[in-house]
Structure 1
Amino acid sequence: MTLNESVPAALPVVERPINDVVVDVPTGRRARRGDDGMLGLGLLAGPANVIMQLARPAVGYGVLESRVESGRVDRHPIKRARTTFTYLAVSTNGTPEQQKAFRRAVNGAHAQVFSTDESPVKYHAFDKDLQLWVGACLYKGVVDVHRLFVGEMDEETADRVYVQGRALATMLQVPESMWPADREAFDRYWAASLDEVHIDDTVREYLYPIAASRLRGLRLPGPLQRRNEELALLITTGFLPQRFRDEMRLPWGPDHQRRFDRLMKVLRVANTVSPKFVRQFPFNLLLKDVDRRIRTGRPLV
């Protein structure tokens, strides 16, 4: 199957190319969808997106060996999540002042992330190719979330979201010329980049608690902990394309897909009937938090 061929509807959303043929969206619904921005339900896809990013060995070991203690997702998951989601909000919907301040803060943290002679792979957080990969993963996550919880985009909306998504990479060191020219070019980039995906035992062990949403220092009573991890693994694995499931050795079959689809359907209905400020929470508040931190001199990352 080529990248431009339509994918059967039975396939999960996350398996579909970005440039897949979109359905015609009625005009009335199109106007409603145009104001959705970042959806709060996208937080559910966060662990899967982290796995996708870290599936490139240089990114995985860059995070695993990071000297930035406060940014380690395994030790400070809530703070790391706040930083990542704020980056999403600022890069796509922030003001130029917010973007400039956040870029400076992230660059300060990235300056401390580079490999040593003992590192299994060579990496540096200022590597433009690695930053492009991370931005591409974030953009793909935005599209997958939109398809699941809002619905298909018409061509105009898909192109607009693609232009906005470019900032997920270019807000840092990635020049605009490196971002694929259009959605079809993005699919070619994504397919080629999958050849560089590999999760070894060390990174897999690091990522599994993230997939299961285990919070350091917090453990529920036995049965509740198991149920919570089962649900988290279902959601995380459901948002992962099959290549990443295989690398993580996470099982997936028809029963898993049906359970995932049922859960997403319930959440989609809840999202549809929610008011705009609820749909966009917490991204709307994170942008206000950036202004507050800039004003008071508090760290942004």
Structure 2
Amino acid sequence: MRRASRPSPGHDQGDRDPALRRFLADSTPVVAGGRAILLQIADPVVAAGVRRHSDFARRPQQRLAHTLMYVYAVVVGTPADAAVAAAFVTHAHRPVTGADDPDRQLWVAATLVDSAIRTHRLLGSPVDDARAEDVLRAYMPIATALRVPAERWPDSMPAFERYWASALAQLRVTDDARGVVRDLLHPRFAPAWVRVAMPVVRVVTVGMLPAPVRTQYGFPWGPREVRRFRRTVAGLRLLRAVLPGALLRLPGPLLIRAMHRTARRYPAR
């Protein structure tokens, strides 16, 4: 795990490495937002908190947007952006049992960095070992902003993979988690554009899950599902290849601006 003596990269690392900053600002990991949430709620404590203190059934897309706001604000935003995001998260977690548990918050942050790296690789971004280490360091503030002690964050990708394997082995999908999944993947009250996108979202979300977790959720996964997943990924890779880099980086600033608008309307206390 991460050594306490090693300084946090913060925003300075990205400023010194423009290529890394562009990589972190790329919206490709948005595709795996559902995957990250399903992994998070495969922890029974996280699932119970989300199920009892959330309105996924009515606003699942808003919950996903809030998660993405937090990631962009902390990873590529300014210190002021990160402070606003952290204040919102702290406020939202106050009534949720287990929300301040460092073990759970470490897991939540780990699902975000793992999903980011795997999605980039799946959709064609070159992510070698050095770049993966950069991403791991860049995502550390997500965990520390959630009150995870800095020394708990893995200090290398091998350390992260050991933590990941151990955490996966302890997951247990409960009825609370399955209820959240129904609301997330089959939203009844979402805008029309969200419902139109959901078939692709469902294919990618289920296909990217680790096999043991997918089995626990009860998702079918046979030759037909594998073919559908591969076709969907091929289409997304093609789409990503033709989109300009500036367009791929556009969601981050838009989400951060939306976060500040929300902060002005509903200041966190």
Q: Name the TM-score, length of structure 1 as normaliser.
A: 0.75
Q: Is the 8 A contact 1:102 1:300 kept in 2?
A: no
Measured in 2, the distance between the counterparts of 1:202 and 1:83 equals 21
1:288 aligns with 2:257: yes
Q: Is the 8 A contact 2:58 2:187 kept in 1?
A: no
- State the match for 2:89 in structure 1: 106
Q: For 1:14-56, what per-residue CA distance to the aligned partner results, in whole angstroms no more than 9, with x for missing partners?
A: xxxxxxxxxxxxxxxxx97862324334333222211100000
1:82 deviates by: 1.9
Q: Is the 8 A contact 2:123 2:236 kept in 1?
A: yes
1:232 deviates by: 4.0
- State the match for 2:159 in structure 1: 185
The structure that is helix-richer by fraction is: 2
Q: Secondary structure of 1:74's partner? A: coil
RCO higher in structure (CA 8 A, sep ≥6): 2
Q: Is the 8 A contact 2:32 2:115 kept in 1?
A: yes
Q: Is the 8 A contact 1:36 1:279 kept in 2?
A: no
Q: Is the 8 A contact 2:74 2:141 kept in 1?
A: yes
Q: Is the 8 A contact 1:60 1:203 kept in 2?
A: yes
Measured in 2, the distance between the counterparts of 1:107 and 1:33 equals 28
1:214 aligns with 2:187: yes
- State the match for 1:154 in structure 2: 128
Q: For 1:209-246, what per-residue CA distance to the aligned partner results, in whole angstroms no more than 9, with x for missing partners?
A: 32x342337789xxxx8x97654432221121111111
- State the match for 1:49 in structure 2: 36
Gaps of at least 5 residues in structure 1 are 1-30, 115-123
What is the alpha-carbon root mean square deviation over aligned residues? 2.6
Aligned 1:137-152 pairs, distance under 5 A: 137-152=111-126
Q: Is the 8 A contact 2:21 2:76 kept in 1?
A: no
Q: Is the 8 A contact 1:83 1:300 kept in 2?
A: no
Q: Secondary structure of 2:23's partner? A: coil
Gaps of at least 5 residues in structure 2 are 1-17
1:95 aligns with 2:78: yes
- State the match for 1:13 in structure 2: none
- State the match for 2:13 in structure 1: none
Measured in 2, the distance between the counterparts of 1:254 and 1:261 equals 11
Measured in 2, the distance between the counterparts of 1:257 and 1:298 equals 44
Change in 2 beyond 3 A, CA 1:36/1:108: same
1:130 deviates by: 0.4
Measured in 2, the distance between the counterparts of 1:215 and 1:41 equals 26
Q: Name the TM-score, length of structure 2 as normaliser.
A: 0.83
| Identical-pair percentage | 29
Q: Is the 8 A contact 1:139 1:165 kept in 2?
A: yes
